[in-house]
Structures are given as structure tokens and as C-alpha cells.
Chains A and B, each alone.
Chain A
Amino acid sequence: MTATAAARPSAAAAHLRIEAVVKRFAPDAAAAVDGVSLDIAPGEFFALLGPSGCGKTTLLRLLAGFETPDEGRILIAGADMAGVPPYRRPVNMMFQSYALFPHLTVAQNVGFGLKQDRLPKREREARVAAMLDLVKLGRLAQRKPHQLSGGERQRVALARALAQEPKLVLLDEPLAALDRKLREETRFELVRIQHRVGITFLMVTHDQEEAMSMASRIAVMSQGRIVQLGTPQEIYETPANRFVADFIGGVNLLEGRVLRAHDGLIEIDSAEAGAILVVEHPVLAAGSTVAIAVRPEKIVFAPPAAAANRLEARVRGLAYRGEASTYEVELASGKLLRVTQVNAVRQAPAYAAGDSISLGFAPGAAVVLAP
């Protein structure tokens, strides 16, 4: 499920521009954020995706104003945020721990910022009620946070972040504290709410499935830099390098040497595969060493005898997951591959460990990675 393209921008949504931002926590330390530039359109649902320690949370804190960049600029709706303290930024954050005020009720939590803005009581109450309605929590308005379940707290945090009608909402791992089933339901819910309010959402997550299913665009971060920027599909189907290919979903890497290129295809002599592989790709100099990436679900069992990229293998193990099964297979060279087969019929043929099989993939199914 790929989420919708950019939502309709509303008056409240703002353009966010990050220009070559650098942040170091100690003068001699490696930069936590190392020259990041980004343009995020009004009303977009954007995800910063990366492993822990990649700098994505630091970048979020720079946007909220909790940290100050050492270099570069942050512009929200055209306004430079340099020297603007958190309490004056048109940005609200949904904290990973939710950071709900334990001494206040749900309604008081949601209305906290509105009270600070000195909104008249009646208007404030109306807005709080509308926000609680949006997240379907109206009946819990008078509860204290400790009386709520994890999922309810998460929605209070969201309502509180939306109540002041910020130009930009920052979500720090918004679903990380929920259990799996609730997490999947909440994905749709968050996208639906973002659509309705039309505010720009910037989400930080380490979960690639979460990023792909919710965001319209994703920036993959590693070691303080953005290593790839694109739609979920672009990032999954054409990963820019090994890091992205490996971090986003499962992947099989096969190395080899380019023999020749013709008609938009290249032929690769791969010792690992034990065959000549044919992959769709523009011209590449013969003799160069390359790696190709093939996603586990793009490998098929028992391809036609004449098909390209037909390999012989032996099944080593199998993980049955219900909707699909993942096989671990071993090529003659000893190279292990992962193959995912969708269990489209109830009694799908299952291979057992030790079975000999042939497998293959289409020339268009593989991607040549930059070295």
C-alpha cells in the first residue's frame, strides 16, 4: 500500500527548506547532521528514514528549535529560523515518549498551547473538542494520561500537536511505542488525519515499512547525510546504493564483472551466481566490477528452460509467514539467496530443505548498484 501523493496543501501548510545544515555535539566529534539539504512541499507527508544514530532525530530537534545548527539555514514558510526559540516557531512536535503532562487531563493537555496563546475560553474549548473528535477521543476528555492505553496516549499527543494549527508537525517515531496490530491500523489513521488537516507532516522513523506506507516522499539517512531521496517506490525499486538496498527491505546482492552491453542490457559474468547474468541497464564499460540487487520477491522458482538468469540451487531452509514464505537457497558457489513466494493458493507447493530447484529473475527485476 503506497500512500497517496502529496495531500492538498492548506492555508496552514508551509514550505520547509533545509539548507546545508550541519550539527556537531562536540567540536572534534563526527557531525550528527552533516550537510543536509531538503525541500519539503506544503501539505506533504515526508519521512526521514534511517537506522538509529543516523542523525534523523537530531534533524527533527533542529527544526523544533531544541538544538541550534552549527552551519546552514532552516526556513519555514520562507522565514529563517536562526535565533528563533522553540516557543516562537510555527512548529509542533509529537514526541516519541508523547511527553503528555501527567498532572493535566486529556482536554487540558490538548488545550495547553491554546491557553498559552490566550485563546478565549469558549474558542479554546471548541477547538479542543474538535481535536479530540478528530482523533476519536471525545469520551476520554476528563481522564488523566496514566488512565489511558498506549494507543490513546498516542492520539492525545497527536491532537495536542495539531491543536495550535502549526505550519509543520514533527513526528518522532510516532508509532514506535504501539504494538504491531495497533501500529498497522494507526498508519492509515495518521494518513487520514494528515489529509484532513492538510498540515505538512515530517516524520522520523527507523521502520522502512512505516515510512513507505505513510509518506509521499522519503529521505533515507545514514551517518548524518541523506543517501537517497525519492518516493517510496523509487527508493524500493531503484535503491541508489548498497546501504539503501540493504536497509529498505530484504535484498540479494550478486557481484560480477561486466562482459558487454547491448540494447539496454548488460551481461555480467558472476562467479557467485555461476552464470552469465543479463540485467537491464544503460551502457556500462566492459570489465568494470558491479553488484546487482534482486529483491527476494522478484525471484521465481522453476522458470521456463529458455529464460535468462536461470540458476540451479538447493533449498537450505524455509520460513512460513502465512501470506508468504521465505526460502533460503544455496547456489553451487555457496552463495545464499533469499526468495519470497506469495502463498496465493491454500495448498501452495512447499519445498523442503535439501530439495534441488531452479530459480530465475527477469532482466528488469534486478538493479545495478553503484560500487
Chain B
Amino acid sequence: MSAAMRRRAVLALPYAWLTLFFLVPFMIVLKISLAESVIGIPPYTALLATDGWQLHVSGESYRRLASDDLYALAYLNAIKFAGVSTVFCLLLGYPLAYGIVRAPRRWRSLLLLLVILPFWTSFLIRVYAWIGLLSGNGVINNTLLALGLVHQPLTLLNNAFAIYVGIVYSYLPFMVLPLYAQLEKLDPALLEAAADLGCRPWRAFCRVTLPLSLPGIAAGALLVFIPAVGEFVIPDLLGGPNTLMIGKVLWDEFFANHDWPMAASVAVAMLAVLILPMGFIRRLLQGETA
């Protein structure tokens, strides 16, 4: 095997793996989304009828998706929650990543380790732990009551606030790590050059550090935003029963209503919704480096 072929194989194998195990399940989901819901096993009609090879394509689930405001609202809500959380992750994560980069070298690996330390515990358990912190007789309320700062417990759980707390907390490391990687590459001489040319530290940050960290911001924002849009566990556990987020709607369609075609069409539409911001950010970055 030649060197060029080996190089291609190194790339081709993982991509073949990814393609296979992304595309095949996706095709199955797409197929189900075009079927009709029935009571039985499986709970949907076959796309290819066994009698006479006829295609039975139904747009019923997509028609409901488009006509019922609930779904559009759930998508918009999910995008809002994910978007606002991404902004907060950036506002918290940027100073954190910057601080780690500027810390003495011997501290850096420890500080980075602390950022990813939460991953050592199950995601589910960490979200559960927030219930213990936020509930009416949870740690935060008990502390505030004991200090006499409030006279009756604050409603911290089962609302939008709890969802934001949960998402920002859970996804912060995904923002910090790409930002750290980007900021760490920044040559300190560039900031000295900016200062030498008349920039106060804040101006040097705006004119040099910030534009040069845009790829890290974009990577971090995508890593937070995309999974947050489809997030189910956090809104379910912390947001209470009235939360309208698309991940939760999908779960309900699948497990509560047993409407597989509907759940599948929600999933297909979510993918379409997520591809849009990705394309937008890619455009933005290409404009920056061109």
C-alpha cells in the first residue's frame, strides 16, 4: 500500500464508521417519520408494502408538525433556552479560559483538570444534585432562610431559571476547553505590540485577543448550543412538567404517546433546525480567515 493510500485509509476508515452509524439510523428514523402510526409491533406502517412493492409514504406526521403550534413553539423555546445558555456559558467560560491561560504554567494542568472534574460523575446524578440544591427545602433556600435573607423559600426549581442553571452548569466545560485551546495559542508578544502601539489593556483585548479567539468562541458555542437544543434530561428534571422544549416533546411522543412516526418527524426536523446555525457560523468564520 502506498503512503498516499495509507493516508487516505486513515481518514476513510473513521469517516466510513461515522457515516455508517450516523446515516443508517438516520435513514431508519426518516423512514419511520414517513409512516403512519398503528397499534401493533412495530407501531408504524411499513414503507414498502409486501403486496406488490408499493410505496406507502405518509406525510401525516409532518403535516401535524407544521399545523400544530405546539411543535413550532417547542422548537423556538428550545432554541431560546439553548441560545441564552450558550451566551451565559460564553460570558462565564471566556474569563475562566483566559484566567487559566494566564495562570502560572505549573497551575494550568490542575486548573484544566478541575474544569473537567465533573465528568467523573454521571451527568444524570449531577443534574439530580441540582434538585437537592434548588428545591424549596434545598441547600440554597435553607441557607438563605438560616441567614435571614429571605423569609419564605424562593421558587428556584421547576422553572426556566432552573433550566438555565442546569444547562450552563452542565455545558460550561464544552465552552471552556476550545476557548482555552484557542487562547493558549495567542502569542503574548501580540498584546505587547498592541500596548506599544497605544492600546490600553481593554482596547488590546478588543482589537487583538477577541478577534483571534473567534474560532474558539465558535467551536465552544456549537458544542454547547447543539446538544442543548435537544436536551431532555435537564428540562425534564429541573424544568417541571410545563416546560416546552423540543427534546421533551420528542420523548413524550415516543414514550407517552407511542407515536413513533411523530417522534421521528420531530427528530428529523430538529436536525434541519440545527444545521442552519452551523452553516451560519461556518460562513462567519470563513469570512474572518479569508
Contact = CB atoms under 8 A, between A and B. Distances in A.
A110 to B, nearest CB: 10
Interface in A76-90: 85-89
A64 B196 CA distance: 7
A86 B196 contact: yes
A184 B4 CA distance: 42
Given A101-B208, A103-B212, A103-B288, A92 B197 contact: yes
A99 B199 contact: no
Interface stretch (A111-119, A264-272, A311-319, A363-371): A111-119
A91 interface: yes
A66 interface: yes
Interface string B178-190: 0000000001011
| Prevailing SS type, chain B contact patch | helix
A171 to B, nearest CB: 12
Contacts of B203: 116
A297 B190 CA distance: 44
Interface in B195-232: 195-200, 203, 207-208, 211-212
B193 A93 contact: yes
A115 to B, nearest CB: 8
Contact of B199 (A64, A93, A97, A116): A116
Contacts of B196: 64, 86-87, 89, 91-93
Given A99-B187, A101-B208, A164 B193 contact: no
A87 B189 contact: no
Contacts of B252: none
A66 B197 contact: no
Interface string A269-309: 00000000000000000000000000000000000000000
| Prevailing SS type, chain A contact patch | loop
Contacts of A89: 196
A112 B211 CA distance: 14
Interface in B99-154: none
A117 B198 CA distance: 7
A106 to B, nearest CB: 15
Nearest to A86: B195
A99 B189 contact: yes
A87 B198 contact: yes
A72 interface: no
Contacts of B199: 87, 116
Contacts of A195: none
A86 B144 CA distance: 47
B281 to A, nearest CB: 17
Nearest to A112: B197
A354 interface: no
Given A87-B200, A117-B198, 13 more contacts: A64-B192, A66-B192, A85-B200, A86-B196, A87-B198, A92-B197, A97-B187, A99-B187, A101-B194, A103-B211, A112-B197, A116-B207, A164-B197
